[in-house]
Amino acid sequence: MKKNHFYFVTLLAGIALLSATKPFIRAPYGLIKGTPEIKSVSALTFGKDGILFIGDSKSATVFAVDTKDAKKNETAAAVSVSNIDQQIATALGTQKENITITDLAVNPVSKELYVAVQYSDGTPVILKVGNDKIEPLSLKDVNYSSIALNDVYAEDAKDARGRPMRVSTISDIGFDNGKVLVSGLSNKEFSSTFRSIPFPFTDKQDQASLEMYHASHGRYETTSPIRTFTTGKINGKDYLIASYTCTPLVLYPLDELKSGLHVKGRTVAEMGAGNTPIDMTTITKNGETFLVMANTARAVAEVSYKTIAAFEGTLTEPVKGTAGTAFVQVPSLTKVLQMDKLDKNHVVIIQKKENGSMDLLTTTNEAL
Amino acid sequence: MRPSNHCISAHNSRLGSLSNLLFFVLLFLSACRYEPNEPRILFKENRAVSVLIPEKIYAGIDADSLNTLVKIRLAKIENATSILGEYRSDHGLIFTPLIPFTQGTDYEILVKGLTAAHFSIPLANSTDAPNLTTCYPQQDSLPENLLKIYLQFSHPMREGLSDKYIRIIKNGTDTLQDVFLNLQPELWNENRTVLTVWLDPGRIKRDLQPNLRLGNPLQANNTYQLQVSKQWKDINGRVLQKDYSKKFIVTQRDSICPNPEIWKMNLPKSGSPESLVISFGESLDHYLLMEAMQISTTEGVSIKGTFEWDSFDRSCRFTPAAVWMAGNYVLTIASRLEDLAGNNLNRPFDRDMTKTKKPSTQELYKKYFRIEK
């Protein structure tokens, strides 16, 4: 009887203990609840299920934040906001000269627009923007994870007091097939970094060294930093499609971008010197796929994937002007500062107009 | 005399206590002078991060309705939208905007859609204005293929404005165009006090299209002036104390890699706390130097101490934390250490990869030395 009583008490205690313990529910993708310490927002991109990746140059870290914005929306409403910089500045309680729009990303699930803004004192803000809507993305008590960008020089890169001196600025960020892709450059050496980071984050990240032939420059260059990139399928194979200052368009096979490997890119187009590419995305119109690219010194350029696929060689001789895969320019789309795909039929852009206003507008794929 | 002295001392002590008491009473009274009818701005690290709205301003509004019935917006702007931020109750209503309030800007508080109060953010105190403290490299004679310039400021600065405020004048007359690499985001250190500015590498590398079209940014045997406008503001909106100007003469192109083998070392004796002096024979990159070298025994035991560099970064001085012991040592140098033209230990910055041999990929170079008894 005494023994039975003991078992009964033990059972009760066990039940009490179980009921007192809060069930531990792990958020998807290994995210944990908290407030990420984001020091800057250089680049944004979306993964699956409303996961927003934030490239933070100041802390050399990529954050993954669950925006909880995962309600599926196939077709987005066209967005048109005149004087977007002024509107954002007013909503933040300041003047437009005190803010910089650092990136724009569309959530491919909900088609919501996310705009990264930096105040003149460095304070970063992420806003959800739409017609008659400017809302903050709260980063308080969210599910998130982060990964610090590895410094290849580790211990020896530290100064006499053991502090790392290097700053890796993130120039662009993308997500493809379960991996976060990050291009960057250093503040100390003229060098390019490209990382491929599996998500959910672990302690693994691949950093390959890339080499490309810069036809405008007439020589191989491994050190030029990638300014913008996207990914795409060409002849059935997945590629990193990257562009650099002076606008070479270079393909790297994604499956070769692994740590320790030196990968030679294939330069498929030389789109002209004196220009820096700003943003790139892929669209489909009339059943054909195109790469569209915004530029600092000229109009948005458009290249057909079919012609990229047909260009099997690589530019290896110096060129003056342009060469390689043919491209067309969209004359009405000059001074495009930000660009992303809104839905399968539309692209959203931020453009500086001739009258000085900065407008957020939507264009159909056909108009490109 | 002694008792009297003691008495005076005690009296003084009491007076001291009274004056202390008076000071705190006055401090308390001055603190109490804050009239809770006015909004009060709350500062953090010189930034106006919040505003405290006293209850009198929103009297009669239910606590649950505060977020919807009390709004803050820019004053003097027609139909300005409400400012984004958070409200919380704490001896009044505290509003914290997403970004700090802007100096020199007027705001209004609306209660139920009507203007209830105003507040303004004062301009920053100009007595603590920022300064461009140092420009690296510091010497006034620089190679034609100079690759980068570091600007070090006393205070965190506003980003994204370097192309507006930095220029180079040639021979006192011509402002050079397109000499800097346009980078956004700019390369600032974490606390925004050091900016790295690249001279356009496409123009520096010989025979590249930008080089052929526009020429090298700098040409040998000419005099230049780097100018930084005092209009550049820090993060608190204060302009620089003064314009900055650095005059320099440009010498021949430097296409030779730094070579630790020919560096000269001035070795101290064992038992001495004296510094080890390493002369590079040329100026090296200021910030890379700060992280590129380490001294250890040949057995791999790191030697604690401090590195110091001369103002032109032509030599460094390593002072050990303890006296030198006789034995074999090694100076380890990261291969990415560069000279002023971007030539590192493995390769010159400007090379034709199709014609020159493949450069070394070693990450570290070692220079051995011995401390004698």
> pLDDT (tens digit, 9 = 90+) per residue, B270-291?
999 999 999 999 999 999 998 8
Residues in chain A: 368
Contacts of B188 in chain A (CB under 8 A): 167, 187
Nearest CA in chain B to A167: B189
- Of the residues B99, B136, B236, B363, the best mutation for testing chain A's interface (the one with the most A CB atoms within 10 Å of its CB) is B99
Whether B12 maps to a domain, the answer reads yes
Distance CA B231, CA B238 (A): 9
The reply to whether residue B105 touches residue A167, judged by beta carbons under 8 angstroms, is no
The closest CB to that of A93, out of B102, B196, B290, belongs to: B102
Pair B234, B285 in one domain: no
Pair B22, B46 in one domain: no
The answer to whether B317 touches B373, Cβ cutoff 8 Å, is no
C-alpha distances out from residue A221 to A192, A248, B301, Å: 10, 11, 38
The reply to whether residue A189 touches residue B107, judged by beta carbons under 8 angstroms, is no
Distance CA A94, CA A85 (A): 11
pLDDT digits (tens, 9 = 90+) for A284-325: 998 999 999 888 878 888 999 998 888 776 666 555 666 677
Contacts of A102 in chain B (CB under 8 A): 185
Strands of the sheet containing B305-309, edge to edge, are B264-266, B276-279, B315-320, B305-309
- pLDDT of amino acid B75: 96
Residue B5: CB atoms within 10 A of its CB come to 9
Mean pLDDT, residues A21-44 taken together? 83
Q: Which residues have a Cβ under 8 Å from the Cβ of B18 and sit 6 or more positions away?
A: none
Taking alpha carbons only, the member of B197, B122, B193, B199 closest to residue B158 is: B193
pLDDT digits (tens, 9 = 90+) for A131-161: 999 999 999 999 999 999 865 333 334 444 3
For chain A, what are the domain ranges? 208-334
Pair B360, B283 in one domain: yes
Pair B167, B229 in one domain: yes
The reply to whether residue B201 touches residue A190, judged by beta carbons under 8 angstroms, is yes
Q: Is B287 on the interface with A (CB under 8 A)?
A: yes
Distance CA B7, CA B22 (A): 22
Nearest CA in chain B to A296: B182
Segments forming the whole domain that contains residue B105 = 40-120
Whether B130 maps to a domain, the answer reads no
C-alpha distances out from residue A118 to A100, A259, B74, B83, B98, Å: 5, 33, 19, 16, 11
Mean pLDDT of chain A: 83
Distance CA A77, CA A279 (A): 22
Q: Which residues have a Cβ under 8 Å from the Cβ of B319 and sit 6 or more positions away?
A: B273, B274, B275, B276, B305, B306, B308
CA distance A79 to chain B (A): 19
The reply to whether residue A165 touches residue B291, judged by beta carbons under 8 angstroms, is yes
Pair B264, B364 in one domain: yes
The closest CB to that of A153, out of B207, B233, B334, belongs to: B334
Whether B213 maps to a domain, the answer reads yes
Mean pLDDT, residues B179-207 taken together? 84
- Of the residues B291, B308, B343, B352, the best mutation for testing chain A's interface (the one with the most A CB atoms within 10 Å of its CB) is B291
Contacts of A121 in chain B (CB under 8 A): 47, 99-100, 156, 158, 235-236
Tokens representing B284?
């090296």
Tokens representing A94?
């300041």
Mean pLDDT, residues B121-146 taken together? 92
The answer to whether B276 touches A143, Cβ cutoff 8 Å, is no
Distance CA A120, CA A23 (A): 44
The reply to whether residue A91 touches residue B81, judged by beta carbons under 8 angstroms, is yes
The closest CB to that of B354, out of A42, A169, A220, belongs to: A220
Beta-carbon pairs below 8 A across chains A and B:
170
Distance CA A169, CA B184 (A): 9
Q: Is B32 on the interface with A (CB under 8 A)?
A: no
Distance CA B168, CA B245 (A): 10
Can you list the alpha helix ranges (DSSP code H) found in chain B? 2-32, 66-69, 162-165, 201-204, 209-214, 286-292
Whether B127 maps to a domain, the answer reads no
Dihedral sign from CA coordinates of B333, B336, B337, B338: positive
Query: Which long-range CB contacts under 8 A does B32-36 form with residues at least 24 apart?
Result: B36/B92
Whether B134 maps to a domain, the answer reads no
CA distance B270 to chain A (A): 22
Pair B98, B158 in one domain: no
The reply to whether residue A122 touches residue B192, judged by beta carbons under 8 angstroms, is yes
Which among B217, B251, B285 is the end of a domain? B251
B74: domain CATH number is: 2.60.40
Whether B136 maps to a domain, the answer reads no
Q: Is B202 on the interface with A (CB under 8 A)?
A: yes
Q: What's the 3-state SS for A40-109?
A: CCCEEEECCCCEEEEEECCCCEEEEEECCCCCCCCCCCCCCECCHHHHHHHHHCCCHHHEEEEEEEECCC
Whether B131 maps to a domain, the answer reads no
Whether B90 maps to a domain, the answer reads yes
The reply to whether residue B77 touches residue A57, judged by beta carbons under 8 angstroms, is no
Pair B21, B111 in one domain: no
pLDDT digits (tens, 9 = 90+) for A242-274: 888 777 788 888 888 877 777 778 888 777 666
Q: Please say if the pLDDT value at position A164 is more than 60.
A: no
Q: Which residues have a Cβ under 8 Å from the Cβ of B66 and sit 6 or more positions away?
A: B58, B87, B89, B93
Q: Please say if the pLDDT value at position A228 is more than 60.
A: yes
Pair B22, B52 in one domain: no
The reply to whether residue A218 touches residue B105, judged by beta carbons under 8 angstroms, is no
Distance CA B211, CA B208 (A): 5
Pair B264, B353 in one domain: yes
pLDDT digits (tens, 9 = 90+) for A272-286: 666 778 899 999 998
Strands of the sheet containing B148-153, edge to edge, are B132-136, B148-153, B194-198, B187-188
Mean pLDDT of chain B: 87
- The domain tally of chain B equals 4
Mean pLDDT, residues A71-88 taken together? 93
Pair B293, B242 in one domain: no
